[in-house]
Amino acid sequence: MTTESSPRPSHHGGQLGLALEWQAAAVGTLLQAQQRQAQMLMIWQKSMAAVGQDLWDRWVCRFGGGVPLDG
């Protein structure tokens, strides 16, 4: 069987390469966006943990009768 009668489609002009480059760029952009979302979530969780700790400390000082144990 020769290459001219091969059942594989030919991709003249690098169309497959261009499509794969576009796909890689799109997936890379989506992964960067997802990474930024995860970073923002982690920052938000740290700030909410600080707020929760502050509220706990205030509650302990008010109703627990003194300074919180963690100082």
pLDDT tens figures, 1-52: 455 565 665 555 588 888 899 999 999 999 999 999 999 999 999 999 999 9
CA distance 51 to 45: 10
For range 50-69, the mean pLDDT: 83
DSSP per residue, the chain: --STT-SSPP-GGGHHHHHHHHHHHHHHHHHHHHHHHHHHHHHHHHHHHHHHHHHHHHHHHHHSSS--TT-
CA distance 54 to 62: 12
pLDDT at 67 over 90: no
pLDDT for the residue numbered 11: 53
Q: What is the CA radius of gyration of the chain?
A: 29
